[in-house]
Amino acid sequence: MQSLSTDITDSKAAKKGSSAPLKVVTHDQFCMEKVPDPCGIVIFGASGDLTHRKLLPGLYHLFKAKLLPKDFFILGFARSPLTDTTFREEILAKLKTKGETDSPVQKEFLNHIYYRSGQYNDPGAFRTLDGILKEFGEKHGTKGKLLFHIATPPDVYQDVISGLKHAEIIKRTKETDVIIEKPFGHDFDSAVQLNRSLHEALNEKQIYRIDHYLGKETVQNIMMFRFANSIFEPLWNRAHIDHIQITAAETLGVEHRAGYYEKSGNLRDMFQNHMFQLLALIAMEPPLLFDEHHYREEKVKVAKSIRPIPAGKIHDFVVRGQHGRGKWNGREVPAYRQEEGVDPKSQTETFVAMKLFIDNWRWEGVPFYLRSGKRLGHQATEIAVQFKQVPHSMFPFLHSDQFSPNVLTFRIQPDEGISLCFEAKHPGPKFCMATLGLEFNYKDVFHEPSMDAYERLLLDAMQGDPTLFVRQDMIDLSWEFVTSILKEWEKSQPAKFPNYEAGSWGPPEAHQLIEKDGRKWEIL
C-alpha cells in the first residue's frame, strides 16, 4: 500500500511559538475521485431557493474541480416562466455572491445549462420534456443516462413521479435515477404512500433519498474514527460510556420557511431524519463492508432497537418548546408567533429534547440525549460521547467525582472537527489538576475547504453509489417512532407556549430532562 506523508504545522502550536508538525499520512490511492459517466441532470423546482443556494453552486464546484463528466447537461424545470438566458443570469449572480469571479470556466459551465417551465400536474408538460431530454441527450452525448433531482415543495413530489412515469421517461430497466429531498412524508402513513408511489415507477436501487447531513465531512469521519482506529472501538459500549448527547442548535428563526415549518415543526423537520441518522452512525455495529448494503443494514438495526416510549409516559422522555422574544448577538429578535406567515396562536414546536435507549447488547442502559431547536444560544451541531467517571481516586484530597469525565466530541458544524478532553497535572502544587483537550480541526490541519455536503452526495448519485443515502426501511422505522410521539401530543396541547426566550438554551424542562439523571448538557 502506497502512502503520501505530509508534515503540516498546527496553526495553534505555531501561534505559541512551536514548530512541531502534525504528520498526516494519506493513503493516496483511495483519495482519487472517480469521474461519473456522461449523464443529463434534471432539477425539478429549479427556480427555488435550494437549487440556487446549494445544487447549482455545488455542480459548478464539481465542474470546476473536473469531477463532472465531459459530456453532460443540466436542465432546470419549474413553474416559473424563465428562459435559458435569464436562468443562466440568475446562476451567475448567485455564484458571484459566493465569491466566484467571472471566468471562462463559468461560461463553459453555463453552456451546459437549460431551463423549461411547466406545471407538475400537466401530463403534456412531461411528454414535451421527454422530447427535450432526447434532444439534449443527443446534443451532449449522454447516452440516455439521466439523474432527476426532485427539489420541489413536498406536496408535488407524487405529481412529478407520476408525470415521469406516465410519459415513460423513467423506467425500471432504463438508466434513470431519482434524488428526492426531505421531508419523506409528513407522518408514517404518508411516508408509506410516497414510497409506494416511488416503487410503482422505480426499484429501490434507483431511489436516492437525500439527507445532506450524511455528506458532511465529520459525519463521514465518525465511521473512519470508530472503525479504522483500534484504540476506541473496544471502549464503545455500555461498560465504558456513561451517555451520549446529540445537539443540533440553530440561532436563526424560520426565516422564509414559515409556510413549511408551520406544518412541520422541529420533530418532523430535524428528528425524523438528521437526528436519527446521527444516532444510527454513533451507535451502529461495525459493518462487514462499507458498502450500500452492509452499512445501511447496520443503521437500520439501530433504528429497530430504539426502545418505544411507554404510552402515557411521553413527558418523561420528550420535551417540546416554542421560542418567544429575546436577544441574539445584541439585537432583539421576534417570537416565533410574530414571524411572518406564522399563526399568532401557533402550537408548532421550535425545540425538542428527548431521552432514548437502544435495547441491544452494546448499549443496554446507556441513555442518548437528543435536542434540536431554533433561536438557541449559538449555532452548533455536535455529538458528545461522555465516558464514565473513574471508579476510585488514589489521590488524597481528591474525590473521584472531582475528576471531569473524558468527553469525545464530533463537531459537525459550523467548525468541523474532533476533540477529546482528559485530566492532567497542572504545573504547581502536588495535586493541582487541569482538564486539557486534544483538538483536530479540518481547516487547521488540511488548509483546504471540505467538499460541501451536497457536492459529495450529488457526485455519489451520479456515480451510482447510494451508500450515503437513506433506505426505505430506515425512513419507515424513524417515522413510526416519531408518529407515536405526534399522536401523544395530539391528545393535549402544550401547557405554555412560548416557553423559552430566544437566545437561551430551551425551556427549563429540557434541562430537567438530563439533570434529573445527575448529568448536564455539554453545550450551554
Q: What is the mean pLDDT of residues 418-438?
A: 76
Q: How many CB atoms lie within 10 A of CB 492?
A: 9
Cβ atoms of residues 340 and 258 within 8 Å = yes
Give the pLDDT of residue 431.
66
Q: Is 274 a catalytic residue?
A: yes
Taking the C-alpha atoms of residue 506 and residue 517, their distance in angstroms, rounded to an integer, is 18
Query: Nearest to residue 261, comparing CAs of 157, 150, 183?
Result: 183
Q: Give the other-Cβ count within 10 Å of 434's Cβ.
A: 12
Average pLDDT over residues 453-460: 94
Are residues 346 and 332 in contact, defined by beta-carbon separation less than 8 angstroms?
no
Q: Report the alpha-carbon distance of residue 346 to residue 205 in Å, rounded.
A: 40
Out of 3.40.50.720, 3.20.20.220, 1.10.540.10, 3.40.630.30, select the CATH number for domain 39-181. Answer: 3.40.50.720
Average pLDDT for 125-145: 94
Percent of the chain with pLDDT over 90: 66
Instruction: State percent of the chain over pLDDT 70.
Output: 90
- Is the pLDDT reported for residue 29 higher than 50? no
* Single pTM value for the model: 0.89
Neighbouring CB atoms inside 10 A of 378's CB total 14
The residues that bridge with 353 in the sheet, in sequence order, are: 319, 371
Q: What is residue 216's predicted lDDT score, i.e. its pLDDT?
A: 86
pLDDT at 53 exceeding the cut of 60: yes
Mean pLDDT of the chain: 88
Report the b/e string of 212-239 with b at 16+ CB within 10 A.
bbbbbbbbbbbeebeeeeeeeeeebeee
Domain boundaries, the chain: 39-181, 214-390+471-515
CATH of 214-390+471-515, one of 1.10.260.40, 3.40.50.261, 3.40.50.720, 3.30.360.10: 3.30.360.10
- pLDDT (tens digit, 9 = 90+) per residue, 198-240? 999 999 999 999 999 898 888 888 988 899 889 988 999 999 9
Nearest to 77 by CA among 37, 35, 136, 36: 136
Q: How far apart are CA 243 and CA 417, in angstroms?
A: 20
What phi, psi does 465 have (nearest 5°)? -110, 105
Q: Answer whether residue 174 shows pLDDT above 80.
A: no
Rounded Cα distance, 165 and 199, in Å: 11
Contacts of 395 (CB under 8 A, 6+ apart): 431
Which positions ≥6 away from 483 have C-beta within 8 Å? 187, 188, 189
Query: Taking residues 287-299, what's their average pLDDT?
Result: 92
> What distances in angstroms separate CA 270 from CA 23, 198, 264, 273, 478, one per listed residue?
37, 23, 10, 6, 11
Tell me the per-residue pLDDT of 354-404, one tens digit each, with 9 for 90 and over.
Answer: 999 999 999 999 999 999 999 999 999 999 999 998 877 667 666 666 667
Q: Given the residues 52, 274, 294, 426, select the one marked as catalytic.
A: 274
Q: Answer yes or no: is pLDDT of 507 > 90.
A: yes
What single letter denotes the amino acid at residue 213?
Y
Instruction: Please list the residues that pair with 74 across neighbouring strands.
Output: 41, 113
What are the C-alpha distances in Å from 157 to residues 46, 130, 150? 14, 18, 7
63 pLDDT higher than 70: yes
- Point out the least confidently predicted range of 123-137, 435-449, 451-465: 435-449
Q: How far apart are CA 396 and CA 454, in angstroms?
A: 54
More confident call, 100 vs 64: 64
